[in-house]
């Protein structure tokens, strides 16, 4: 039986601002009240990014709201969360980020079975004209689809 994945949060702005070259799945190290908050959907991926520090991959700016019934066990909502990947994958990503000027951006947070996973993308920033071009292509495709639908009636 394949394990089901249930998306908790998506970073749609990242798809608009960055060209996603590669995607990776990483486990995320959380505490009990953070997991409960995640299951309630109280998380924001907006303005978050990943950094490699001392051979560890950290998600910075990932906001997990405090759990209402968590009292003293709640952690700082913006604390850097450690991501779990193999060392060779982390060092490869670190090399690409340093040499090619790419960024590691969280794209989606989801549960895969009982485990919380973070999909991160190796991204290159889009220029303003690239964003306009993508918007124009999307608009043109929408127009063509609408005309084809009217024509086939």
Q: Looking at residue 1, what is its pLDDT?
A: 38
Q: Is 146 part of a structural domain of the chain?
A: no
- CA–CA dist 120, 59 (Å, integer): 10
Please provide the average confidence, as pLDDT, over all residues in the chain. Answer: 85
Q: Is residue 69 assigned to a domain?
A: yes
Residue 51, classified by CB atoms within 10 Å of its CB into exposed (0-12), middle (13-18) or buried (19+), is middle
In a domain, 41, yes or no: yes
DSSP annotation of 20 reads E
135 domain-assigned: no
Query: What number is the average pLDDT over the span 37-57?
Result: 87
User: What range does the domain containing 95 cover?
Assistant: 5-126
CATH number, domain of 67, equals 2.40.280.10
Residue of 25, 130, 37, 138 whose CA lies nearest to 84: 25
The yes-or-no verdict on residue 3 having pLDDT over 60 is: no
Pick from 13-22, 72-81, 85-94: least confident: 72-81
114-137 per-position pLDDT tens digit: 888 999 999 888 887 777 888 888
| Tens digits of residue pLDDT in 49-64 | 899 988 899 988 888 8
Q: What is the mean pLDDT of residues 26-54?
A: 86
* Cα angle 10-87-17, degrees, rounded to a multiple of 5: 30
Would you say residue 89 lies in a domain?
yes
Residue 118 belongs to a domain: yes
Residue 136 falls within a domain, yes or no?
no
Give the residue carrying structure tokens 């970073």: 11
Per the structure, how many domains does the chain have?
1
Does residue 137 belong to any structural domain of this protein?
no
């Amino acid at each position: 039986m394949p394990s089901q994945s249930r998306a908790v949060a998506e970073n749609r702005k990242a798809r608009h601002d960055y060209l996603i070259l590669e995607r990776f799945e990483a486990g995320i190290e959380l505490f009990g009240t953070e997991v409960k908050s995640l299951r309630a959907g109280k998380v924001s991926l907006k303005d978050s990014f990943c950094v490699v520090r001392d051979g560890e991959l950290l998600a910075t700016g990932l906001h997990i709201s405090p759990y209402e019934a968590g009292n003293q066990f709640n952690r700082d909502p913006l604390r850097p969360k450690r991501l779990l990947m193999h060392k060779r994958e982390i060092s490869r990503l670190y090399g690409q980020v340093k040499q090619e000027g790419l960024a590691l951006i969280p794209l989606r947070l989801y549960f895969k079975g009982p485990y919380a996973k973070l999909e991160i993308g190796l991204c290159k920033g889009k220029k303003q004209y690239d964003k306009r071009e993508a918007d124009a292509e999307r608009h043109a495709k929408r127009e063509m689809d609408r005309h084809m639908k009217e024509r086939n009636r």
